[in-house]
Structure 1
Amino acid sequence: MTDPRIYWNKQYIASDNKRVTYDLWLDKYKHILNASKDTPIIDLGCGLGNDTMYLYERHYEIISCDYSEEALKKLELFIDDPVTKLFDMKDGLPFESESVKVIIADLSLHYFSWAETREIVNEIKRVLKEDGFLLLRVNSVKDTNYGAGKGITIEKNYYNIDGNLKRFFDKEQLEKLFVEWDVEYIKEYEMNRYTNSKMLWEMAVKKVND
C-alpha cells in the first residue's frame, strides 16, 4: 500500500504555484462563521488551502492543518504568516478540549476505516465548544469519477484503489456517524471544481451535550 504522506507530498510538490481557487459552499454558513470572529477556525486537512484562502480573504483567524508538510508550505505563497499545524488526524487533534467554535473538514474525512473515522469525529467533538459546528464535505457513493465502487473492498464503501485508501458515504452511514449531533444541513450534490464532476455530501452538524 502507498504511504499516504509520501503520496500527498508528491502531489503537492507537483502542483503548480498558482493561487488556489475555491467554490462558495461556505457562503451559506456566514452566520456560523461570524460567531467565531473572536476564535480561530480550524481548517482540518486543508490541502492546498482552498477554504483557508476563502476564510483569509474574509478576515477570519484560521489554523490550517494537514499531515503533508508540502501542503502547508504552499500556504506561504499566498497568505501572510499562516498559522499551521502538522499532524495525522488518526493520532488525535492537538487542541485543547472545548477550545474552538468552528471546524471545517472539506474532503478530508474520507480516507479512514470506520473505527478511525468515528475516533476522529469524537476528537472533533471534544475540541468544539458547546454548540460549536463541524462543517464538512465527503465523498458520495455516487462519486464514480473518483473511485466509488472500484478497487479492493476493505469495508463497506471503503476501498484500496491502486494503493490508496478511499471511503465513500451514503446517507445512512452519515446519519449513523453523527447520531449524537444536531444535523442542521445535509445535501448530496455534484461539484465541478475539478477536471471531472464530483459527487459529494455536505453537512453542517452542531455539537450537543451528551
Structure 2
Amino acid sequence: MPSFSDPWLHPWLPAISARSTTSPVLEIGCGHGDDTAVLADAGLRVIAFDLSRAAVAAARLRVPSAQIECRDIRAPFPPQASELGAVIASLSLHYFPWDETVSIVQRIRDVMRPGGWLLCRLNSTEDHNFGAGQGVRIEENYYSVDGQPKRFFDEEAVCRLFDGQWQRVSMTHQRTRKYVRSKALWEVVVERV
C-alpha cells in the first residue's frame, strides 16, 4: 500500500525529547520506519519493532541508528524497554480483541516511568475507507476485514481504554492521507500517573 508523508509527530517532538533524556523511545509497530526516521532525525535513541520481517528490513536500512527488531506486540518487550519516558504506537494497537488490547496498554504502562507519555493513533469507527463496520463482526467494533482482524474506536472506547491509570494530555479525531485515501483516526496522548 503506497504511503505519503504524515508529520503527526512533529508538534510532539519537544515533549518527547524532554521525556526521553535518559531513556530511549519505544516505537511499537514501526512499519517501514516513517516515524522511526522522524524520531532519530530529532536526535532520539529509538528502540522499535514490527511483526513484519520485510518492514523491519526496510526500516533498518532507512534508520540504521535505531535498534529495530521483528517482534510480536504480544511477546515481551525488548529488555531495554524499561522506565521509558515516551512510547509511540501509531496504528498498531487495533488488531486484537478488547481484553487483549487492554492488556497490551497495561504492559505499555508497566514499562514507563511516572510522567511518561504514550502517543498513539487508533482506527476510528468513521474509518470506512479501511473497513470500519465492514467484514465479519467478531465483537463490538472489531471485524475481520479481508481476513485481517481490525478494531475501530469511538470516543467512548478511547476514553475507556485509557481510564484510571492515565492522565489525558490530548485526544483528537483526525483524518490523514498517509495511505492515499482519507483515513479517520484518533490521535491520543496520555501520561502515565
TM-score (norm 2): 0.92
**2: distance between equivalents of 1:76 and 1:153?**
36
Which amino acid is the alignment partner of residue 201 of structure 1?
W
TM-align CA RMSD: 1.8
Percent identity over paired residues: 37
Aligned to 2:61: 77
Please state if 1:136 is matched with 2:114: no
Q: CA deviation at 1:27?
A: 2.1
Aligned to 2:24: 40
Provide, for residues 164-190 of structure 1, a one-character-per-residue CA deviation record: whole Å limited to 9, x for no partner: 100000010010110021011000011
Please state if 1:61 is matched with 2:32: no
Q: CA deviation at 1:98?
A: 4.2
Unpaired runs of at least 5, structure 2:
none
Change (3 A) 1:184 1:81: closer
Q: CA deviation at 1:31?
A: 3.1
Contact 1:63 1:84 in 2 (8 A): yes
Aligned to 2:167: 182
Higher relative contact order, chain-length normalized (CA < 8 Å, sep 6+): 2
SS at match of 1:84: strand
Please state if 1:107 is matched with 2:98: no
**2: distance between equivalents of 1:56 and 1:25?**
15
Contact 1:96 1:127 in 2 (8 A): no
Aligned to 1:201: 186
Contact 2:33 2:63 in 1 (8 A): no
TM-score (norm 1): 0.85
Identify which range, 86-95 or 106-115, moves more after superposition.
86-95
Change (3 A) 1:89 1:80: closer
Q: Which structure dedicates a bigger proportion of its chain to strand? A: 2
Unpaired runs of at least 5, structure 1:
1-10
Change (3 A) 1:99 1:85: farther
**1: distance between equivalents of 2:65 and 2:172?**
35
SS at match of 1:153: strand
Total equivalences in the alignment = 191
Change (3 A) 1:81 1:32: closer
Please state if 1:127 is matched with 2:105: no
Provide, for residues 67-126 of structure 1, a one-character-per-residue CA deviation record: whole Å limited to 9, x for no partner: 222211102322234311222112342346742110000010011110110110000000
